């Protein structure tokens, strides 16, 4: 490779789990949504995508390796929208002696090689596309020295990769404002609170299936927009979502878990109701997912307040938000009903939390309440894996030593 005209960056980005869901596109071409949404960006400790971008004049074409396997990106609208979009924002690149190596707007001859690895099951409903496209766009921005002409511009590019990805460019609690301009230039992410605002926030993730889902979000929301009247009701201007956005942003700013948790559960339920209202209907939750809902409500009833809040994306996996003062109890309760196929630290992907939850003694009244609310007997293997995590930062630049691409050959390692 011509090292004088080769530039690289490696970075990691986290996934995010929406509390007010994005479901439905206003413009398929621009990938703009029919309603605003908001999510928590999760810590990168366990769940992240690591991406390396190498840009070089000597590359013949753009190439992509996903989890080690090459994918043909020649006709990938999403991938190319990201590469071309960030390239257009490309700025001047200087060398160590401050000499100009590439002039502003001089990136036209550069092609990219990209390698991306997930540390979690791809396409299992853990928002891998959010982590993936946010990592890609941020990494391209570093390589092309892209600068935003207005705050949030980069997120309008990530949005074209995958809608939810725009929210992972920031840490903490992040809204995706749907925007109103015809060209989509104001349909972008905005940080509501950073990751240090509510440090007690935790997320317990139950991986109920690590298989690829049968109806992709893109396909599912297309059918929902075409057929679900409930979705139209939910997303209409000044309607349910607009009200909920206001309520939840206030709750998060004031660290009001009761209000945050209630609306999070209601919005998950309404999203899945619109899926059921889609014709033909889409089912993302399975019986195990539904039993988690019952247990969380039984737990809250026993607590006398909303202490835990579930949410489900386009798949059966449960994410339970709670605060750190109850996380051991919530985890212990989940382990009681979803014991896991192997009883070791590889089932709960957080050694400390696992140790604490194992030691926690669950109240008999609570167990009676949960049994009564109709949880069938815990079956080992219903839940494949459990993560305990918290909110975290946006993309983090890594050392070139961590590169997934061999910088001598320009190929995947
Ligand atoms: C249920 O962002 O994956 O997770 O824009 O078509 O790539 P595309 O869809 P995607 O949809 C996410 C849907 C959701 C809700 C959410 O994250 O807000």
pLDDT at 209: 79
Residue carrying structure tokens 């399975």? 286
| Residue range 227-259, pLDDT digits in tens | 999 999 999 999 999 999 999 999 999 999 999
Protein residue with least CA distance to atom 12, ligand 1: 164
CATH top-level class of 201-390: alpha beta
3-state secondary structure 308-374: EEEECCCCCCEEEEEECCCHHHHHHHHHHHCCCCCCCCCCECCHHHHHHHHHCCCCHHHHHHHHHCC
- Band the pLDDT of 210: cuts 50, 70, 90: low
> What is the distance in A from the centroid of ligand 1 to the CA of 162?
7
Average pLDDT over residues 103-132: 85
- Residue 306: phi and psi, rounded to 5, are -80, 105
Global pTM value: 0.96
Is the minimum distance from the CB of 317 to ligand 1 under 6 angstroms?
no
Topology (CATH level 3) of domain 3-194+397-412:
Ribosomal Protein S5; domain 2 (3.30.230)
Ligand 1 center from residue 239 Cα (angstroms): 20
Over the stretch 324-362, which tens digit does the pLDDT of each residue have? 999 999 999 999 999 887 766 678 887 678 888 887 889
Query: Is residue 37 lining ligand 1, measured as CB closer than 6 Å?
Result: yes
Q: Is 164 in the pocket of ligand 1 (CB under 6 A)?
A: yes
pLDDT of residue 126: 73
Residues of the chain with CATH 3.30.230.10: 3-194+397-412
Query: Which pLDDT belongs to residue 121?
Result: 64
pLDDT in tens, 365-386: 999 999 988 766 777 889 988 9
**pLDDT grade, residue 127 (50/70/90)?**
low
Is the Cβ atom of 314 under 6 angstroms away from ligand 1?
A: yes
Domain with CATH 3.30.70.890 in the chain: 201-390
ipTM over 0.90: yes
Confidence tier at 123 by pLDDT (50, 70, 90) = very low
């Amino acid at each position: 490779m011509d090292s004088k005209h080769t530039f690289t960056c490696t970075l990691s980005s986290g996934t995010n789990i929406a509390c007010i869901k994005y479901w439905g596109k206003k413009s398929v071409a621009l990938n703009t949504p029919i309603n605003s949404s908001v999510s928590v960006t999760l810590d990168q400790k366990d769940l992240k995508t690591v991406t390396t971008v190498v840009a070089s004049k000597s590359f013949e074409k753009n190439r992509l390796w996903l989890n080690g396997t090459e994918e043909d990106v020649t006709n990938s609208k999403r991938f190319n929208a990201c590469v071309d979009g960030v390239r257009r924002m490309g700025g001047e690149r200087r060398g160590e002696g401050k000499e100009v190596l590439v002039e502003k707007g001089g990136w036209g001859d550069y092609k990219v090689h990209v390698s991306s690895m997930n540390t979690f099951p791809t396409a299992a409903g853990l928002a891998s596309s959010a982590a993936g496209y946010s990592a890609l766009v941020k990494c391209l921005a570093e390589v092309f020295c892209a600068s935003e002409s207005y705050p949030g511009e980069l997120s309008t590019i990530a949005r074209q990769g995958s809608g939810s990805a725009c929210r992972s460019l920031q840490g903490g609690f992040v809204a995706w404002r749907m925007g109103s301009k015809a060209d989509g230039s104001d349909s972008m992410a905005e940080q509501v609170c950073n990751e240090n605002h509510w440090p007690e926030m935790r997320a317990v993730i139950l991986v109920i299936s690590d298989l690829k889902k049968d109806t992709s979000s893109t396909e599912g929301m297309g059918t929902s927009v075409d057929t679900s009247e409930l979705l139209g009701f939910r997303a209409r201007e000044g309607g349910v979502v607009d009200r909920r956005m206001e309520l939840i942003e206030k709750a998060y700013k004031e660290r009001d878990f009761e209000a945050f948790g209630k609306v999070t559960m209601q919005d998950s339920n309404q999203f899945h109701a619109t899926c059921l209202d889609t014709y033909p209907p889409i089912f993302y939750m399975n019986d195990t997912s539904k039993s988690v809902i019952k247990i969380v409500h039984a737990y809250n009833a026993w607590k006398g307040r909303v202490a835990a809040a579930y949410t489900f994306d386009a798949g059966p996996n449960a994410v339970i938000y709670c605060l750190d003062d109850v996380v051991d109890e919530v985890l212990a309760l989940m382990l009681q009903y979803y014991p896991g196929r192997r009883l070791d630290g590889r089932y709960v992907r957080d050694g400390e939390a696992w140790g604490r939850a194992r030691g926690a003694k669950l109240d008999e009244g609570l167990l009676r309440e949960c049994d009564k609310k109709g949880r069938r007997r815990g079956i080992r293997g219903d839940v494949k894996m459990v993560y305990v995590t918290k909110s975290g930062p946006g993309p983090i630049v890594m050392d070139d030593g961590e590169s997934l691409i061999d910088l001598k050959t320009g190929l995947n390692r």
